[in-house]
Structure 1
Amino acid sequence: MNFYEHQDRAQRRTKVIVFLFILAVLCITAIVAIPIGFTTEWDPVATVAASVICLLIVGIATLSKLSQLRGGGSTVAEMMGGTLLQQGGSSQTEKRIQNIVEEMAIASGMPVPPVYILEDETINAFAAGWTPSDAVIGVTRGCIEKLNRDELQGVIAHEFSHISHGDMRINIRLIGIIFGIMVLGITGWILVRFVGPMILRTSSRSRSKEGAGGAGIGLAVILFGLFLAFCGFIGTFFGRLIQAAVSRQREFLADASAVQFTRNPSGIGGALRKIGGITPLTTPTSDASQCNHMFFSQAMNAMFASHPPIKERIARVEGIDASDIEHNENITSTVVGDSLVSGFSESVVLDSIKNGSGVREIAVAKSRDVLSGIGDVILDAIREPWSARLVLFAIVVDRGQPKQDEILSKNLSKNEWSVYKKITAHVSNTNESARLPIIDLAAPALKQLSKSQLGEFNTLLTLLIKSDGVIDRFEWVFVSVIQKHLAPPNLKNSRAKLSLLRDSASLVLAMLAYYGTTERKDAELAYKSGAESCSLKQLKIPEMSSCTIENLNNAMKKLQKLRFTERERFLLACERVVVHDEQITTTEAEVIRAIGDLLDCPIPMFG
């Protein structure tokens, strides 16, 4: 199962969650309504009223929590007590985690997610967000200080797997749903802990009959609170059941993907051993073996856990028998210091598209080369919101267009203009293949700009690319990817088929065909090759004049409605157009990866 199939499967799993949620709510409502029915001799008004109130409480709580979480990954991280790691980091361990996250993001073709630190000495991490563009990575202080680089890379690869498999969106919805079905227990706790005792204290100050009546009301409130707390216990049971139903197998998959990404089972295996207090593996085996059946009590303890048992995960990752794993309570910190023809072959491009955002070892190595080739001056600049803008201006400016320099000199302050000129010299010496990674690296810093600052940045960027009256493919890619990274996440499920959006697909394929050659006949042949590969036959190539930036943007927005397996077909069609002339330029490679990015289908770096 590849990236695209995982994404469609993740959307289908949402239906399972909704079904379990409805079942849980009905059970909780029945638990509330039946006792009230007995005490009122099944008075229909009282029974129905209790049921409706229960449904309203659960429904409003769920919708309220989901609305709160619309902010995406940063909202979840802050809700959990995370603190945004400032770009550059203040310690060696913070710089190391940031470097690993950047490596994995560039290798997978994703925008670099901001990193949040949770001040906790345990070893843990999470990925949160609706889409790759608004994802964040959260790690505990213990995680970055107690794991060595290989182990930390294994943990981060595990979290990137959750991003690429569409698990984050499910997890956010689970937060809202579980909160909704547990809210009765929270309400009961408030009644028992605060409201009931407050009424009792107030009534105790009065010796009148009203005071005695108040005491009775206070006791009734406490008893009702205990009843709601019991309902909350039932809600917790169903909440854990839902988590187990959708989470446990995904953890095995993420572990396996982490090994695939890093080609190093001892990395994530070592991290799991430290989490479980288990002796490090000294004699790893190459053949996977079956895990021993667990005792009944252990199975019951783990039945509704959201994660599989640590031993079982280690056994699968390292290919050993679970009974051979020994415990070791002594866990210590292990921190260590730490547009020419591109040369991309058709098979490499095809494999990267089919692989989706699944990171391969070669892509991780390539990302390290890209990072080292960018240079410290640019890396330091793109980690600050103020200077990140200047780096992106320097990338988009054509050195042969003095009008663009004139626009910048008028709109930038003297200090900004001076820094921009220094950055320009370094950007000129940077390989073209680093342009998209630089945008991805700049994403966390740009997201820290205020709304007005973002507006000014977008306005100036638009002025620059329109200054020469011609918008080429790279400029369209550049602006579109930046805007995608900074736009609110798309929360709608995508189920459309490519045949329903044939006009939009046709326009994008035509753009690729026209810009790949100067001869219309060659463009028509390239277009035909791509259109036929995705079953869009008997389509005439649109005129070049229709391939405007506005039309292309509208086409890409419509194509975001495609189900993910249909997006794969479309991306493969784009690849057929690009490779028709048997040459793939760096710009063409960037365009393919950018189209994937715009469709929330990150494509790994071409090796």
Structure 2
Amino acid sequence: MMRIILFLATNLAVILVASITLRLLGVEPYLNANGLNMNALLIFCFVFGMGGSMISLFISKWIAKRSTGTQVIEQPRNATEKWLLDTVAELSRDAGIKTPEVGIFPAQQSNAFATGWKKDDALVAVSAGLLNRMKPEEVRAVLAHEIGHVANGDMVTLALIQGVLNTFVMFFARIVAHLVDNFLRSRDDGGGLGFLGYFAVVIVAEIVFGLIASIIVAWFSRFREYRADAAGAKWAGSAAMIGALGRLKAETEMPDQMPDTLTAFAITTGQTRKVMERLFASHPPLDDRIRALKESSYR
């Protein structure tokens, strides 16, 4: 089940590489003869935890382009591409942001995403399948939804939340490793975990705490989808936004359709029922999103 990908996967990779590198080089200033220096440990974890998140944010657009095969429209080659550019420009003016780059990626499923490290340096992309299956007003609603993500600063907020969580993941992982090391020392008066043992406990603890942190990130991701849907309804019309979500729902109910991919950015996930799936789902169920729009004031 792919739930932590692109931004989250890059962030986790940066944290793990940093942990491995710093441990191997012995650059861990929070350890001293008296044990852990909590203030130094917290500062250390904040610098590297937030750093991992910021690196993920800064390269998010680059990763998204290459991982999806998105082709940015520099000069429109046909009427569809010109309409896309004009529509995104119009919606961006409504949202009060600089027009993002616009791209198309070669997926047959109806999908779309928005990413970028700031509002005025973003990318909005739609799949070829979405363009083929949806009506123009529904495509416009999807684009408005993605512009809503950009205007709301969702990627920046996500990065800040992830950075804070990274800090505590690294912090508590090292506390756990230190406690285990002290416990073993007291039992056998030996060397405790040793270099490799301490290193292994830190990595395992970071993975475990990282999964717990992902539940919080997933909750925020689900929350931001409702806000983006409201933006789509505001700028493209509630009927068009509901129609687009309804079409996505119909596709998800078809056999072998809509694989759970690009969940960090895409609009077509969330059809989950099991408790663990719901905890890690980056998007709410489509039925819930449609219900929320029907109950909203955007008509």
Query: What is the CA distance between 1:228 and its match in structure 2?
Result: 1.9
Q: Which residue identity does 2:36 align to in structure 1?
A: V
Contact kept, 8 Å, 2:50 with 2:160, in 1: the verdict is: no
Q: 1:311 matched to which residue of 2?
A: 287
Question: Is structure 2 residue 38 aligned with structure 1 residue 62?
Answer: no
Q: Which residues in structure 2 correspond to 1:170-189 (within 5 Å)?
A: 170-174=157-161, 176=163
Q: Which residues in structure 2 correspond to 1:422-437 (within 5 Å)?
A: none
- Which is greater in Rg? 1
Q: 2:232 matched to which residue of 1?
A: 258
Q: 1:104 matched to which residue of 2?
A: 91
For residues 57 and 145 of structure 1, what CA distance do their matches in structure 2 show?
Answer: 47
Normalising by structure 2, we get a TM-score of 0.58
For residues 123 and 221 of structure 1, what CA distance do their matches in structure 2 show?
Answer: 47
Q: 2:125 matched to which residue of 1?
A: 138
Choose from 202, 214, 239 the match for 1:239.
214
CA separation of 1:139/1:221 partners in 2, compared to 1, >3 Å: closer, same or farther?
farther
Query: What is the CA distance between 1:161 and its match in structure 2?
Result: 1.9
Q: 2:135 matched to which residue of 1?
A: 148
Contact kept, 8 Å, 2:238 with 2:293, in 1: the verdict is: no
For residues 121 and 96 of structure 2, what CA distance do their matches in structure 1 show?
Answer: 14
More helix by share: 1
Q: Secondary structure at the match of 1:150?
A: helix
Query: What is the CA distance between 1:114 and its match in structure 2?
Result: 0.7
CA RMSD of aligned residues (A): 4.4
Contact kept, 8 Å, 1:127 with 1:136, in 2: the verdict is: yes
Q: How many residues align?
A: 229
Q: Which residue identity does 1:48 align to in structure 2?
A: L
Query: Using CA pairs below 8 Å that are at least 6 residues apart, which structure has the higher relative contact order?
Result: 2
CA separation of 1:252/1:55 partners in 2, compared to 1, >3 Å: closer, same or farther?
same
Q: Deviation digits for residues 460-517 of structure 1, max 9, x if unmatched?
A: xxxxxxxxxxxxxxxxxxxxxxxxxxxxxxxxxxxxxxxxxxxxxxxxxxxxxxxxxx
For residues 235 and 84 of structure 1, what CA distance do their matches in structure 2 show?
Answer: 33
For residues 142 and 47 of structure 1, what CA distance do their matches in structure 2 show?
Answer: 57
CA separation of 1:230/1:64 partners in 2, compared to 1, >3 Å: closer, same or farther?
closer
Q: Deviation digits for residues 393-412 of structure 1, max 9, x if unmatched?
A: xxxxxxxxxxxxxxxxxxxx
More strand by share: 2
Q: Which residues in structure 2 correspond to 1:10-89 (within 5 Å)?
A: 45=33, 47-48=35-36, 56=44, 59-67=47-55, 69-70=57-58, 74-75=61-62, 77-78=64-65, 80-81=67-68, 83-89=70-76
Contact kept, 8 Å, 1:130 with 1:172, in 2: the verdict is: no
Q: 1:551 matched to which residue of 2?
A: none
For residues 157 and 164 of structure 1, what CA distance do their matches in structure 2 show?
Answer: 10
Q: Secondary structure at the match of 1:249?
A: helix
Query: What is the CA distance between 1:104 and its match in structure 2?
Result: 1.5
Q: 1:273 matched to which residue of 2?
A: 246
Q: 2:223 matched to which residue of 1?
A: 249
For residues 88 and 58 of structure 1, what CA distance do their matches in structure 2 show?
Answer: 43
Q: Deviation digits for residues 64-109 of structure 1, max 9, x if unmatched?
A: 44156447x7446447555351323345554443232123124444
Query: What is the CA distance between 1:313 and its match in structure 2?
Result: 0.7
Query: What is the CA distance between 1:309 and its match in structure 2?
Result: 1.6
Q: Which residues in structure 2 correspond to 1:464-543 (within 5 Å)?
A: none
Q: Deviation digits for residues 570-598 of structure 1, max 9, x if unmatched?
A: xxxxxxxxxxxxxxxxxxxxxxxxxxxxx
For residues 96 and 206 of structure 2, what CA distance do their matches in structure 1 show?
Answer: 46
Normalising by structure 1, we get a TM-score of 0.31
* Fraction of identical pairs, as percent: 24
CA separation of 1:55/1:102 partners in 2, compared to 1, >3 Å: closer, same or farther?
same
For residues 56 and 237 of structure 1, what CA distance do their matches in structure 2 show?
Answer: 21
Q: Which runs of 5+ in 1 are unaligned?
A: 1-24, 26-42, 185-219, 281-296, 321-359, 362-607
CA separation of 1:123/1:312 partners in 2, compared to 1, >3 Å: closer, same or farther?
same
For residues 241 and 114 of structure 1, what CA distance do their matches in structure 2 show?
Answer: 30
Query: What is the CA distance between 1:236 and its match in structure 2?
Result: 1.9
CA separation of 1:129/1:44 partners in 2, compared to 1, >3 Å: closer, same or farther?
closer
For residues 77 and 46 of structure 2, what CA distance do their matches in structure 1 show?
Answer: 43
Q: Deviation digits for residues 537-595 of structure 1, max 9, x if unmatched?
A: xxxxxxxxxxxxxxxxxxxxxxxxxxxxxxxxxxxxxxxxxxxxxxxxxxxxxxxxxxx
Q: Secondary structure at the match of 1:126?
A: strand
Contact kept, 8 Å, 2:101 with 2:124, in 1: the verdict is: yes
Q: Which residues in structure 2 correspond to 1:186-585 (within 5 Å)?
A: 221=196, 225=200, 228-244=203-219, 246-265=220-239, 267-276=240-249, 277=251, 298=274, 301-318=277-294
CA separation of 1:140/1:179 partners in 2, compared to 1, >3 Å: closer, same or farther?
farther
Query: What is the CA distance between 1:179 and its match in structure 2?
Result: 6.3
Choose from 129, 137, 150 the match for 1:163.
150
Contact kept, 8 Å, 1:84 with 1:117, in 2: the verdict is: yes
Q: 2:175 matched to which residue of 1?
A: none
Question: Is structure 2 residue 103 aligned with structure 1 residue 116?
Answer: yes
For residues 79 and 61 of structure 1, what CA distance do their matches in structure 2 show?
Answer: 25
Query: What is the CA distance between 1:310 and its match in structure 2?
Result: 1.6
For residues 44 and 122 of structure 1, what CA distance do their matches in structure 2 show?
Answer: 55
Query: What is the CA distance between 1:159 and its match in structure 2?
Result: 1.6
Q: Which runs of 5+ in 2 are unaligned?
A: 1-14, 16-30, 172-194, 255-272
Q: Secondary structure at the match of 2:120?
A: helix
Contact kept, 8 Å, 1:123 with 1:146, in 2: the verdict is: yes
Contact kept, 8 Å, 1:181 with 1:235, in 2: the verdict is: no
Contact kept, 8 Å, 2:103 with 2:123, in 1: the verdict is: yes
For residues 63 and 126 of structure 2, what CA distance do their matches in structure 1 show?
Answer: 13
Q: Which residue identity does 2:207 align to in structure 1?
A: G
